[in-house]
Amino acid sequence: MDNYIKYSSTRGGDDSLSYEKVLLAGLARDGGLFMPEKWPSFSHSDLKKMKELSYSKLASKILKPFIQPFLEENDISNICQATYASFGDDVAPLKELKKNTYILELFHGPTLAFKDYAMQFLSRAFNIALEKKGKRAVILGATSGDTGSAALEAFKGKENVDIFILFPHKRVSEVQQKQMTWINEKGAHALSVKTDFDGCQEIVKDCFEDLNFKDRTSLSAINSINWVRLLPQIVYYFYSALRVGSPEKEVVFSVPTGNFGNILAGWIAKKMGLPISRLICGSNQNDILTRFFESGIMKRKNISPSYSPSMDIQVSSNFERLLYEINDRDTNLVKKQMNEFKVDGKFKINQDQLKKINNLFSAFKIDDVDTLNIIKKTYIDHEYILDPHSAIGYGAVQEAIKEKIISNDCPIISLACAHPAKFPQTIKKSIGIIPKSPINLKQIMRQKENFKIIEPKLKYVQEYITKSMRK
């Protein structure tokens, strides 16, 4: 039993917890995020053997060390197979736009966004854990667009779960909102909160830090603050890298990034042995991460609404996990910096630390004008339509090449995180046409909406949850 991975809080309040406890807790009781106390690793020989595995079998192999002994190997394999059965013949297709430059399409799940790859797994993981304990749970999450629809789709109809999703009022695309609000099943609630995403996220965190409310409602999280939400996202880094030449070749990944969860999964893949030479962080005009990687100062500013609403974020919650590693797992220092950020809106790391992380990370800002131009140029050059978030990742690749940070001598994989049909007006503004919608999306857009508009007050959200949850 002692050989299995256990988990600790980035702020020191909880340590040596099991996978099951971390899954159901979501956020640590001290407000920190859970991290494994050790990293599993795969050798060059291991990676070569993985090349022939299907997506679901690869997922099972990568996730197994983090989950055992809670589930046996066969159970993990069955969950992975069920999770990705509906994602099509090629679960995560790679499109080569030009030599050594690929788009990794992560929009082949039920809600046409990369969040499906994790959320479909997470809902099954929750169901097993709650059934074993004979318990119910209230799941609370904030969304800047895609997490909410993926979560509501994955958890709807579950008898032992009530799910509440907070989304920023009038700050998600029409399609993103409809994918959340067409769902009309018991226990599934979409709340339009009169604030931005960071305001929604703050309410979620405050609910978890109210330990009386957390315990009374059996509260858990589905945002990437939940460690198990991050785990399945590691898989597509391995899957795509192995298909373009790893482990013999190092690979560059470019990731459109707001909350830092998706790119952190790439960093974890590198910790586990995948030969990644660089992770490129693409930010929109809300460029808190780009500014950080340039200066070492994380400083919050006001959010500027953009054509890439899922990235309209100024509090990148998952960065705390990287900060924990930057600080050599000094939980007191992490706690101090997180408190500074909450009170003063900023914290900083030293220049030696910055230099060290910049050996792996590079960051670029792509604003709205750039985004439209990238969509247009990619369509003209390659007859390929990028959604506005994916365009930021691909645009960051061009900037990195221009600055000679990377070259296309090695494989470059740019993550496409959403189907372009989710942002039809932005695509039309760029190239003059509306992308074709999948049939299921057309059907959803004709449905009636079911949601509540609510003021951005912790008290009102907690009252709504308490009143609406099934006993």
Residues involved in catalysis: 115
The encoded tokens of residue 183 equal 């769902």
Pairing of strands 101-105, 94-98: antiparallel
Report helix, strand or coil for 279: strand
Contacts of 265 by beta carbon, 8 Å cutoff, 6+ apart: 230, 233, 234, 237
User: How far is residue 262's CA from residue 45's CA, in Å, rounded to a whole number?
Assistant: 26
Tell me how crowded residue 64 is: count the other CB atoms within 10 A of its CB: 16
Among residues 231, 225, 243, 294, the alpha carbon closest in space to that of 91 is found at: 243
H/E stretch holding 126 reads helix 115-133
* Residue showing tokens 């299921």: 440
Dihedral sign for Cα atoms in the order 156, 162, 163, 166 = positive
* Residue showing tokens 């990742």: 393
Pairing of strands 412-416, 251-256: parallel
Q: Residue 350: what residue type?
A: N
User: How far is residue 340's CA from residue 81's CA, in Å, rounded to a whole number?
Assistant: 44
User: How far is residue 317's CA from residue 167's CA, in Å, rounded to a whole number?
Assistant: 16
Q: Are 293 and 280 in contact (CB under 8 A)?
A: no
Among residues 200, 183, 192, the alpha carbon closest in space to that of 149 is found at: 183
H/E stretch holding 38 reads none
Omega within 30 of 0 (cis) for the link into 69: yes
Pairing of strands 101-105, 137-142: unpaired
Among residues 447, 445, 441, 449, the alpha carbon closest in space to that of 418 is found at: 441
